């Protein structure tokens, strides 16, 4: 190793893992105090769900990723050309193709709607021009036919899906309107006397395409988490043969028992046990442990974690479905599939509106068939079905969503899942990961305690000068402090890494060492144990600076708590929202941070599989739980929560699994999410009330209930009123503001 071992610097590691439950320790493995700290990680892979549970195989490419349910937020949402889609691109690619498809259909339909509009009798009468010419009705018929079959295809397919599932909703209501309008208009154009509905047909399909384009665009990318998880795994490994030579092979070709070499800085390909080498391994993205874990022969390594500066050789123990990361993938997949079954407010409204429209249409046709004549009865029936079609309802939610998404972006929030974002208004428990969420995720100097007669600046300068030579995270924390204080490093020669002890060098020609508590005990050097124990109880890592074996002082390092974390916890309590910490980090550190922030509950040393289980448990009793995290280890919990919130500075996996992303990595933005969710929901309800209210009034008028008073809504008037209703919903959506 070319960097020093800080394993004994820190009471964090020793105390942490001595505190761990005995269930995490092999009874037949007797580790010394230093190595006992790592048994928690060695048991990591064994603490996951039973292999009897279905687990997806590790995909060879993103094309092989386990598919998510293709149900959409609005029930049986349209799936344009679904049968022709390449499912090999994964669910994220599926969403992206839907956005492209809706966009293309919208622009083509818009181009065809323009001439249909210009040739509409209502438009010509309204604007006082005349374009009647031989064959005009044929042109309108051809253009409307293309609009019906091409632009309306997603809705017709969606309606068929709803019909097969016996789950009527928006798609069936839209299809009922466009089918009746198209068939009736075709007959009036060529066979019977009456007014056609081609203009209404074209504008209805156009508006619905726009609404679903906006909707699909807002959903796109919400399902890339599985692709990002796969990216954590390297594609190749350095396999060792019987002679000890290495050959590069695909990880798919490895089987349990194979031996592999991991070079410095490389990702560990698969789960296994180390048989040679010493190094530190960064497991923070997988386990939540903020301190890089010291690895020695006999200890377990997790696939996807990152090797430090040492060379490791390990025996492969788990491949494919059995690996730790594969099971994380399965948990994320399961949670997202459950989440995708949610049905939106608009779809519920559309279902009831469908029942009302069908009943009203049948009653209207039956009444006028006897009270008037068949052509009038048929015209009233079609008018009812067309007017009942939710032009405004189709845009009521997507437009508000588009506006709220824009407002969120301006406030450093990216909304990835509309349905879950809307549910944020009901959240009464918020679970925070610690490392990188409540804390900065980087070590920083918290305390500098010089020995008697030593200046604080001189103590820090000595440590800064020596630690400049190291890449260890603890060393980097001291270096950052030195740079922040604008210290000038002293001349350093004969730098040495004292394995398991610390660092030493000649500083300006004088021996200086930065060592661990264990080294102090081994050298029988006295120090202030009261100060040391106080720092240790706070979960801080302590190093000692020696000059010619004389103590110069001690320096404490810890993961720094974000300033905004204090404010957000206090604000949540004021709103009767319970703040909870859920971390894979050790108990001592977690308790210290939780106490400092005033957390209602603290769960520490929690494995990723257990994190999602904790979230499920916290949801019991009709509680609504949000999860805020930043690492791979948080992904299953983020997906399981009622609202998953990712810190923008976190991993791609956490970001892609989350429903909302905090771009500025500021936990205080959690408060903004709740406020915006409440404002968004109010605006959606206002739009839905208006859209449904319009139909409640318009349907009886379209049915001809005031015909005896000479008040009858013609198809043209109905179309105009529908347009006004849509405009009102659009304007109301634009009035959305962050409270």
Q: What is d(CA 398, CA 607) in angstroms, rounded to the nearest whole number?
A: 38
The active-site residue, picked from 258, 433, 559, 642, is 433
Q: What is d(CA 517, CA 500) in angstroms, rounded to the nearest whole number?
A: 11
Q: Is 635 helix (H, G, I), strand (E, B) or coil?
A: helix
DSSP 20: S
Q: What is d(CA 475, CA 278) in angstroms, rounded to the nearest whole number?
A: 18
Q: What is d(CA 689, CA 641) in angstroms, rounded to the nearest whole number?
A: 30
Q: Cβ distance 203 to 113 under 8 Å? A: yes
- Among 388, 411, 402, smallest CA distance to 730 is for 402
Burial code (b: 16+ CB inside 10 Å, e: under 16) for 337-372 equals: bebbebbbbbbebbbebbebbbebbeebbeebeeee
CA dihedral 501, 503, 507, 512 (to 10 degrees): -10
Active site residue 433: yes
Q: Cβ distance 368 to 376 under 8 Å? A: yes
Where does residue 691 rank: exposed (0-12), middle (13-18), buried (19+ CB within 10 A)? buried
Angle in degrees, CA 231, 235, 241, rounded to 5: 150
Angle in degrees, CA 20, 21, 25, rounded to 5: 90
Contacts of 70 (CB under 8 A, 6+ apart): 79, 82, 91, 94
Q: How many other β-carbons are positioned within 10 Å of the β-carbon of residue 278?
A: 19
Give the 3-state DSSP-derived string for 379-400, with helices as H, strands as E and coil as C.
HHHHHHHHHHCCHHHHHHHHHH
Contacts of 197 (CB under 8 A, 6+ apart): 181, 182, 184, 185, 382, 386, 715
Q: Is 506 helix (H, G, I), strand (E, B) or coil?
A: strand
* Token pair recorded at residue 404: 């709220």
Where does residue 387 rank: exposed (0-12), middle (13-18), buried (19+ CB within 10 A)? buried
**What's phi and psi for 628, nearest 5 deg?**
-115, 120
Distance of alpha carbon 473 from its chain centroid, rounded? 28
Q: What is d(CA 636, CA 38) in angstroms, rounded to the nearest whole number?
A: 23
Point out the residues that are catalytic: 433
């Amino acid at each position: 190793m070319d960097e020093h071992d800080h394993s004994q610097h820190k009471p964090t590691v020793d105390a942490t893992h001595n505190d761990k439950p005995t269930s995490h320790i092999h009874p037949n493995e007797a580790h010394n105090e230093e190595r006992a700290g790592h048994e928690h990680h060695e048991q990591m892979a064994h603490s996951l769900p039973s292999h009897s549970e279905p687990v997806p195989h590790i995909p060879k490419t993103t094309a092989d990723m386990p598919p998510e349910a293709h149900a959409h937020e609005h029930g049986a949402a349209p799936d344009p050309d679904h049968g022709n889609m390449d499912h090999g691109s994964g669910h994220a690619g599926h969403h992206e193709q839907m956005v492209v498809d809706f966009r293309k259909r919208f622009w083509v339909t818009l181009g065809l709607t323009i001439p249909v509009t210009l040739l509409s009798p209502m438009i010509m009468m309204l604007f006082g021009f005349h374009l009647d010419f031989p064959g005009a009705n044929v042109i309108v018929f051809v253009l409307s036919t293309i609009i019906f079959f091409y632009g309306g295809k997603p809705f017709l397919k969606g309606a068929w899906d709803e019909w097969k599932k016996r789950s009527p909703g928006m798609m069936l209501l839209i299809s009922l309107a466009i089918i009746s309008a198209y068939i009736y208009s075709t007959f009036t154009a060529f066979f019977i006397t009456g007014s056609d509905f081609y203009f209404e047909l074209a504008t209805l399909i156009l508006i619905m395409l726009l609404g679903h384009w906006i909707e699909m665009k807002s959903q796109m990318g919400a399902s890339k988490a599985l692709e990002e998880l796969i990216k954590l795994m390297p594609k190749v490994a350095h396999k060792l043969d019987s002679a000890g030579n290495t050959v590069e092979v695909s990880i798919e070709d490895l089987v349990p028992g194979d031996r592999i070499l991991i070079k410095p800085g490389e990702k560990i390909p698969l789960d296994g046990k180390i048989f040679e080498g010493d190094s530190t391994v960064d497991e923070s993205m997988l386990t939540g442990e903020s301190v890089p874990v010291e690895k020695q022969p006999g200890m377990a390594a997790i696939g996807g974690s990152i090797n430090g500066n040492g060379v490791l050789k390990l025996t492969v123990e788990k491949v494919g479905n059995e690996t730790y990361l594969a099971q994380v993938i399965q948990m994320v997949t399961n949670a997202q599939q459950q989440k995708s079954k949610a049905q939106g407010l608009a779809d519920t409204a559309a279902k009831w509106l469908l029942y009302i429209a069908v009943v009203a249409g049948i009653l209207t046709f039956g009444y006028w068939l006897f009270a008037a004549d068949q052509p009038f009865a048929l015209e009233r029936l079609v008018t009812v079905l067309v007017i009942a079609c939710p032009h405004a309802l189709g845009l009521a939610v997507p437009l508000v969503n588009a506006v709220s998404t824009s407002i969120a972006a301006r406030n450093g929030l990216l909304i990835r899942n509309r349905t879950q974002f809307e549910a944020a208004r009901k959240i009464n428990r918020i679970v925070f990961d610690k490392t990188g969420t409540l804390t900065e995720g980087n070590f920083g100097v918290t305390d500098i305690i010089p020995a008697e007669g030593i200046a604080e600046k001189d103590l820090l300068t000595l440590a800064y000068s020596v630690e400049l030579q190291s890449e260890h995270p603890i060393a980097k924390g001291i270096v950052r402090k030195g740079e922040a204080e604008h210290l000038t490093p002293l001349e350093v020669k004969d730098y040495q890494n004292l394995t398991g002890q610390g660092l030493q060098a000649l500083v300006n020609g004088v021996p200086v060492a930065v060592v661990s508590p264990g080294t102090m005990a081994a050298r029988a050097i006295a120090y202030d144990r009261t100060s040391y124990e106080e720092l240790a109880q706070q979960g801080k890592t302590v190093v000692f600076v020696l000059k010619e074996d004389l103590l110069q002082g001690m320096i404490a390092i810890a993961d720094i708590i974000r300033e905004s974390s204090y404010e957000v916890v206090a604000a949540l309590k004021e709103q009767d929202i319970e703040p909870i910490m859920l971390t894979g980090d050790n108990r001592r550190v977690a308790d210290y941070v939780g106490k400092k922030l005033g957390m209602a509950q603290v769960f520490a040393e929690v494995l990723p599989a257990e994190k999602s289980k904790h979230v499920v448990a916290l949801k019991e009793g009709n509680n609504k739980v949000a999860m805020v995290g930043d690492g791979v280890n948080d992904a299953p919990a983020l997906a399981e929560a009622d609202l998953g919130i990712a810190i923008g500075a976190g991993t791609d996996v956490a970001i892609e699994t989350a429903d909302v992303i905090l771009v500025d990595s500021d936990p205080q933005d959690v408060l903004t999410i709740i406020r915006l969710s409440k404002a968004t929901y109010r605006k959606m309800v206002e739009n839905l009330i208006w859209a449904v209210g319009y139909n409640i009034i318009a349907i009886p008028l379209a049915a001809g209930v005031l015909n005896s008073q000479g008040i009858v809504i013609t198809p043209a008037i109905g179309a105009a009123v529908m347009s006004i209703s849509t405009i009102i919903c659009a304007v109301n959506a634009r009035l959305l503001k962050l409270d």
